Amino acid sequence: MHIHILGICGTFMGGIAAIAKQSGFRVTGCDANVYPPMSTQLEAQGIELISGFGAEQLELNPDMYVIGNVVTRGNALMEEILNRNLPYVSGPQWLADTLLRDKWVLGVAGTHGKTTTASMLAWILEHAGLNPGFLIGGVPQNFDISARITESPFFVIEADEYDTAFFDKRSKFVHYHPRTAILNNLEFDHADIFADLNAIETQFHHLVRTVPGNGLIVSNGREESLDRVLARGCWTPVECFGSERGWQIDADNRVTLNGELQGTLNWELLGEHNRMNALAALSAARHAGVPVALGLAALSEFKNVKRRMEVRGVVNGITVYDDFAHHPTAIDTTVAGLRHKVGQAKIHAVLEPRSNTMKLGVMKDALPGSLKNADRVFCYSGNLGWDALGALAPMGDKAIVIDDLDALIEAIAAAARPGDHILVMSNGGFGGIHDKLLKRLS
């Protein structure tokens, strides 16, 4: 069977392409911008890529067009698919119907931590010899790939609440029908498609409706929003983490379940958020049959995900980090984690407000508080539709706003001294700032 994927170079759709190819499908695809690293990864697997969405691609005559949510009405290829009544389906729907139907799906949902928690969970299952398949929105360094399909019944997936496609406005995760579902946290995000927090809670409620009675919901016991979701209807056993109702971890990393000691977590990851992620992964893995002691042993060897507090280089005693943080809560926990690690050393936080929610300025007033643990803040304001300087004004001269990338790099380099830490936060490529900054510092 031949599938042609529209929007193939996104992390999720690229992952679908990879596991479809591994499963024996002929896979071709197109995107507006076909460029590394995804293009290189896909071409290495024998997947033909086409730049642009020209209607001439219909000549490929695939059995099915698989549509990513980057595709909108007005797209030339999509319009011809519709005009000719050709078969098409969304990426999540195709994945669920074609490859996940007979799998024990472990879905990881939440505003924050999906990629890291899914990576932890996949690694625990791998360490236990269960050989799971997975599709994760990042690259777990224990695997060095973001997606694979195996003969194992277990499949771990990052369960995103963003909408499915232009023709299906339900969240992606409603398609996956997980037997084990992690609800990691729930805050307002994706202001481009959700009107308010209640709208997102409704989508999470739809997810809860799909989890079977012999499954398990692993829910953050500290989140009132998730309590409200479960109160709207739940037909599945629930294990909570982060509260007295279930899994807890203390300051010495001792893990307990309902007050009973399970073991100690020995690792080097930073932050309370990662400790919570670990509890969620341990609970979900236990549901799949992995003893807690084995799960803890696996996490002691967990290498985290690329772009999660990843050290990109050290030049003249100055350390440059790359982190995916793009929401005020994630920014706050990331900076706080680095502060805990480096003590009184100077932290220069470099922020690109790039996500759709951040570009809309919905959360701009929360930025000063989220950056409080940094000594200096550099904000890139290129292509922003709101006043970043005004939003960061409560920080006084601690915050610098610049709309030119080269000028931003010069300002950071001028301020940094040996022993300092530069934390770059963006959910995009940020114009290659990491390598440019390291070169400038040298």
Give the three-class secondary structure for 194: coil
At 3-42, the pLDDT tens digits run 999 999 888 999 999 999 999 999 999 999 776 667 777 8
Mean pLDDT of 288-293: 97
In this predicted structure, what is the pLDDT of residue 304? 76
Length of the chain: 442
Burial group, residue 64, by CB count within 10 angstroms (0-12, 13-18, 19+): middle
DSSP 316-383: TTEEEEEE---SHHHHHHHHHHHHHHHTTS-EEEEE---SHHHHHTTTGGGHHHHTTT-SEEEEE-TT
- Asked which of 280-284, 313-317, 388-392 is least confident by mean pLDDT, the reply is 388-392
Tokens of 190: 């994706």
- Crossing angle (nearest 10°) for helices 91-98 and 11-22: 30
Domain 100-299: CATH architecture, name and number where available: 3-Layer(aba) Sandwich (3.40)
CB atoms within 10 A of CB 351: 28
Helix (H) or strand (E) holding 119: helix 114-127
What does the pLDDT average to over 287-307? 91
Tokens of 404: 């030119």
> What integer is the mean pLDDT of 265-285?
90
Strands of 159-237, DSSP E: 163-165, 168-171, 180-183, 216-220
Q: Could you tell me the pLDDT band of residue 246, with boundaries at 50, 70 and 90?
A: very high
Please count the other Cβ atoms lying within 10 Å of the Cβ belonging to residue 202.
Answer: 13
- Structural domain spans, the chain: 2-92, 100-299, 310-441
Cα–Cα dist 264/242, whole Å: 15
Asked if omega into 37 is within 30° of 0 (cis), the reply is: yes
For the chain, percent of residues with pLDDT exceeding 70: 97
**pTM given for the model:** 0.79
Cβ atoms of residues 298 and 281 within 8 Å: no
Nearest alpha-carbon partner for 178 in 120, 224, 118, 127: 118
Which single residue is written with the structure tokens 């012999």?
A: 214
Q: What is the reported pLDDT for 156?
A: 98
65-69, 233-237, 272-276 — which is least confidently predicted? 272-276
Higher pLDDT residue, 271 or 433?
433
Quote the pLDDT of residue 240: 97
* Residue 429: other Cβ atoms inside 10 A: 11
pLDDT of residue 39: 77
Q: How confident is the model at residue 159 (pLDDT cuts 50, 70, 90)?
A: very high
pLDDT reading at 270 higher than 80: no
The tokens 């995103």 sit on which residue? Answer: 160
Structure tokens at 176: 């996956």
Residue 375 CB coordination number (10 Å): 15
> pLDDT tens digits, residue range 319-374?
999 987 777 888 888 898 889 888 999 999 999 887 766 766 677 888 888 899 99
CA distance 218 to 259: 17
In the predicted structure, residue 219 carries a pLDDT above the cut 90: yes
CATH for 310-441, options being 3.90.190.20, 3.30.710.10, 3.40.50.12280, 3.40.50.970: 3.90.190.20
CATH class of 2-92: alpha beta
